[in-house]
Amino acid sequence: MQQSSELFFASSNEHKFEEVQRILSNLGVNIKLFKTTSEEIQSNSLNEIAKRKAIDAFTKIQKPIIIEDDGLFINSLNGFPGPYSSYAYDTIGNKGIIQLLPNSEHRDAKFVAIIAYYNGIDEVKLFESSIPGKISKEIEKGGWGYDPIFIPDGESKTYANVLDKDKFSHRSASLKKFSDWFMHKH
């Protein structure tokens, strides 16, 4: 089905927008960037954070909006950094995450992504996906965010160096769920 309305992606992260735009474009959904810094509440729930960010962004633009929130959950760290992934990245970075796991053989982790859609009328609609993997022992070159340290299951390289991250990333899986719903909604 043809998309009939304008749709914006709210983010201050241009890397994230480029990735989201590329993935959604391949799925037949066109988006525009609404560059903004959304209110990010402190919560143990990615769902709650995503809902609040979507509502906050909508109040600023008054047009249908999607936001993406994600988290890296490391099993041996009881899910840390989880919903605090942005803060952890900004403060200790990939080097700090690796230092939290010195010589650990328990490196299992998962990346969770949530796409939140809000049009100002209906309830915020959430689309969640997660990808299991592990934390690398070294930081690989390339990528952005946690890409240089997350190795998805079935791969030997991190997100930063796999051939086609879009085929199996947590963000891509959530965007696919969103686009399937969105294209049939219109």
Q: Are 94 and 37 in contact (CB under 8 A)?
A: no
Side-chain-side CA neighbours of residue 55 (13 Å):
12
Residues of the chain by 3-state class (helix, strand, coil), percent to 5: 35, 25, 40
Look-up: residue for tokens 């760290």?
77
Active site residue 108: no
Say whether 118 sits in a helix, a strand or coil: strand
Side-chain-side CA neighbours of residue 71 (13 Å):
21
Question: 62-97 b/e with 16+ CB inside 10 Å = b?
Answer: ebbbbbbbbbbbbeebebbbbbbbbebbeeeebeeb
Active-site residue (options: 69, 70, 166, 180): 69
- Specify the length of the chain in residues: 186
Integer-rounded Cα Rg, in Å, for the chain is 16
Give the residue numbers marked as catalytic. 69
